[in-house]
Every structure is written in structure tokens, then in C-alpha cells.
Amino acid sequence: MAETTTLLIEIGALLLGMGLLGRLAGRAGVSPIPFYLLAGLAFGQGGLLPLSASEEFFEVGSEVGVILLLLMLGLEYSAGELVTNIRRSALSGLYDALLNALPGAAFALLMGWGPVAAVALAGVTWVSSSGVIAKVLRDLGRLNNRETPVVLSVLVIEDLVMAFYLPVLSTLVIGAGLAEGARTLAIAVTAAVVILYLALRHGHAISTLFSPRQREALLLGVLGLTMVVAGVAEQVNVSAAVGAFLVGIAISGPVAEHASELLTPLRDVFAAVFFIFFGLTTDPADIGPVLLPALALTVVTAATKVLTGWLAARRAGIAEPGRWRAGLALVPRGEFSVVIAGLAVSAGIEPTLAPLVTTYVLLTVVLGPLLARLPDTPWFRDVVRRRVLNRGRGRVQRHR
């Protein structure tokens, strides 16, 4: 009974505090994500007042938060839109891999950590956080912007590639033989293809399982289906986020509209839990020794992510303001980066990798929402407007 009481008090106090922080952030006109992270640092391992009883709850809640964020993103788009955007963004996905994976690999090699650590850190710096970016786009009211499908296409390509990357990395870190590695990869590839096929070809049949007029049954059914698919995907080394996103894509019509309305409050609660869990699992004492290297890596890979989004949006015919919004939105890294580092560290590859990645993720997650707001500021709009005007004058003079 005492443990249950402590658990309820800790969870209640943190949720209440997060609510107050969210209100403070709203009045200040900024994203609440950095506030949640700092609160997690204050009450996590090595913080001012460590909370232990509720850590397991927040760990599970953070997983649910990512799943709900990606489900809700999927509900915004149809299967046809997904395929079209992925086809258009295939080259952008290649830019993304080259521009963002190579700096991580080079950094690991410069630190003398070896080739396996280089493969791990390449994945860390490559993949943006779908969960963080989904929340930022929603908070800024950009879900219907022209550049948002471009951003989502880049994220989906990254998440799908993770279905192949994670089994390969797992094989490398455990030193498995070629046959075992090939078997693991084949299972992951097959699972990803099957989930994608069902979502794209039989999504209409999945929607008929639910009735938009029965709110309780709809909520329980969609949530249950999402958790099952996400769990199965995770079991076969495919991202749970990919599974949840594809469930959202598969559900369409009135069912998708009503499900989105019903799931929004749940998503808001568990998304906040996801962000605070990052801070809870980080010991502030570990940040100091790796702060400068993590900061350097953040600066370099933030710039490469902005370039990735800018190029992707330009290929899609988006105007310059939208290109900047796309690029700056892609800066945060998150859940995949932590998973990748965990795989490497648990296999004894490089102990320093864990605090470095945690610090790096915290920096990008704090910096990302702030950078994403830059295109909405008057001075940034003026700079972009002057650039466009100057470019236009330059074209006129050349034609003369």
C-alpha cells in the first residue's frame, strides 16, 4: 500500500507540475518541450529530488506517447498521399542519409571508438525525432502547411530505413555470424513489407472494423489495434513508431476523423510523459564531461538537417519561407537515437557513447522547437523577403 501511495503522489505531482509548466510555456508563447525536459532532469537520476517509484510508469508512458504521436500523424494522411510523397522524396532521403549519417560516423572515428561505434553514431545523428517534430508541428499549427508533407516524407523514410538498420546494428554489436545476421534482417524486412502492404492495399477494410458513431468502441478499438501492431513491429525489430504510423495511414474517412478527435487528449498526456522521461533517465553529472563534444556535434548536424529539409522542400517546389520551416523543423533527434545508443552500450562497445548521445539528444530537443519558431519571427521574415527580392533583381539584371 505504501508503494502504491508513493507512486500516486509522484505521478500526480509530476503531472500537475507539467500542467503548470505547459501553461507557463503557453503564456510565454514557446514550446513546453524544453520545460518538460528540465523538469525531468530536476527529478530524475542525480537531480534535486530523485523520484524512483514512478520511473517504470513514465518509461511505459513514454513508449505510449511516441506511438500515439505517430498514430495521430498517420490519421492526417491517406495511403495514396504517403506513397506519392515517398516517391517524390526518395532523393531527399538519400541527401538526408549522406548529410547526417556521415558526420556521426566521422566523429566516432575521430574519437577512436572504432567502426561499430561509427555505425551506431551515424544512426544517432541521421534520424530525426518523429515524436518531437510531430508535437512541434501541431503546436505551431503547421499540419496543413505545404511543406509539412515533405517533412513527414523524410521522417517516414527514416523510420522505414530503421526497420533495416536496427537489425544490422544489432548483428554488428553482438558479433553474430553472417547467417544469423541475414536471418534477423530477413525477418525485419518481411515484417515491414507486410505491414506496409496491409496499410496501403487493405486500409479500407480495416476502417470497416470500427463505427464512427460508437465513441467508446471506436476509441478502444483503434487504440488496441495500434498497440498490437506496434508491439508486433517492435518484436520483429521493426520500429513501433512505423507500425503506429501505418495504422493511422490505413484508417480513413469518418473513422479517422472521429478517432483523431477522441485520441487527442490521450496523445497530449502521453506525449508530455515521453518528453519528461528523457530528463528523468539522465544524470546531470554525466553531462559536464561530454557537453563540448555534444555541442559541437549538435551545431554540425543541426546545420546538415536544415540543409536536408531546405533541399527536400525546394525539390517539391516550396517557396523559400517553407524551405526554412521544413529544414528547421527537422533538427530534433530523439527516440531512435536513444535506442541506438542503448544497443551499442549494452554490448560494451563504448561506455562514453551513452552520456554523449543523451546530452546530444537533449540539446537538439531543446534547440529544435526554438529554431522551428524562427521563420515566424518578423526579423527572419524580413531577411528572407530581402533575399527573395535581391535574387529577383539579380535575375532581371542578367536578362538585360
Query: What is the tens place of the pLDDT at every residue in 235-252?
Result: 776 667 777 877 887 887
Q: Would you call 252 helix, strand, or coil by DSSP?
A: coil
pTM summary value: 0.72
Q: Which residues contact 287 (CB under 8 A, 6 or more apart)?
A: 355, 358, 359, 362
Q: Judging by beta carbons within 10 Å of its beta carbon (0-12, 13-18, 19+), is residue 305 exposed, middle or buried?
A: buried
Q: Where are the domains of the chain?
A: 63-375
% of the chain at pLDDT higher than 90 = 15
Cα Rg of the chain, angstroms: 21
More confident residue, 323 or 159: 323
Across the range 249-258, mean pLDDT stands at 82
Across the range 276-303, mean pLDDT stands at 85
324 has pLDDT over 90: yes
Yes or no: say if 140 and 373 are a contact pair by the CB < 8 Å rule: yes
Q: Judging by beta carbons within 10 Å of its beta carbon (0-12, 13-18, 19+), is residue 233 exposed, middle or buried?
A: buried
Within 13 Å, how many C-alpha atoms sit on residue 373's CB side?
13
More confident residue, 390 or 114: 114
% of the chain at pLDDT higher than 70 = 80
Q: For position 53, what pLDDT does the model report?
A: 61
CA 129 to chain CA mean position, Å: 2
Yes or no: say if 361 and 275 are a contact pair by the CB < 8 Å rule: no
Yes or no: say if 131 and 70 are a contact pair by the CB < 8 Å rule: yes
More confident residue, 186 or 394: 186
Q: Would you call 294 helix, strand, or coil by DSSP?
A: helix
Q: Which of 89-93, 171-175, 227-231, 358-362 has the lowest mean pLDDT?
A: 171-175
Yes or no: say if 273 and 58 are a contact pair by the CB < 8 Å rule: yes
For residue 270, name the pLDDT band (cuts at 50, 70, 90): confident
215 has pLDDT over 80: yes
Q: For position 105, what pLDDT does the model report?
A: 93
Query: Biggest alpha carbon distance in the chain?
Result: 84
**43-56 pLDDT per residue, tens:** 776 666 666 666 77
Q: Which residues contact 275 (CB under 8 A, 6 or more apart)?
A: 33, 36, 37, 40, 65, 132, 135, 365
Q: Does the domain made of 63-375 have the CATH classification 3.90.1150.110? A: no
For residue 347, name the pLDDT band (cuts at 50, 70, 90): low
Q: Which of 84-88, 114-118, 205-209, 244-248 has the lowest mean pLDDT?
A: 84-88
Yes or no: say if 305 and 133 are a contact pair by the CB < 8 Å rule: no
Taking residue 205's Cβ as centre, other Cβ atoms within 10 Å add up to: 10
Across the range 302-319, mean pLDDT stands at 92
Q: Which residue carries 495511403 as its cell?
A: 79
